Amino acid sequence: MPNLENAKKALRQDKKRTVRNKTRKAEIKSLRVKLRKMIDSKNIEQSEEVAKLVCKKLDKAEQKNVFKKNTVARYKSRLMKKVNALKNA
């Protein structure tokens, strides 16, 4: 347990941020799974819409330092590769 007031405050802030970041990560993960299922079912229009939403959420998470820049780039690249393969198939 922290002894100093500023250490106590830092611990409180860290707990709040952890909860907030976990919520954002879980939301993005569920959207990514949803997109993969749409791609598997070959639903082109809806998968494009969800892909835009996923990219938007990932970019926002990157701005808020939930994910690192390269992690977001990797996720987006893999998802868009699958969406584009579905469109061109």
With cut-offs at 50, 70 and 90, classify the pLDDT of residue 11: very high
Residue range 10-34: average pLDDT? 97
Residue 58: what residue type? L
At 81 the pLDDT is 95
Cα–Cα distance measured from residue 36 to residue 85, given in angstroms and rounded to the nearest whole number: 13
For residue 5, pLDDT over 90 is answered with yes
- Tens digits of residue pLDDT in 28-86: 999 999 999 999 999 899 999 999 999 999 999 999 999 999 999 999 999 999 999 99
Structural domain 5-88, CATH architecture: Up-down Bundle (1.20)
Which residues does 8 contact at the CB level (< 8 Å), separation at least 6? 2
Cα–Cα distance measured from residue 55 to residue 79, given in angstroms and rounded to the nearest whole number: 9
Angle of helix 69-88 relative to helix 5-40, nearest 10 degrees?
10
Per domain, the residue ranges of the chain are 5-88
Cα–Cα distance measured from residue 53 to residue 51, given in angstroms and rounded to the nearest whole number: 5
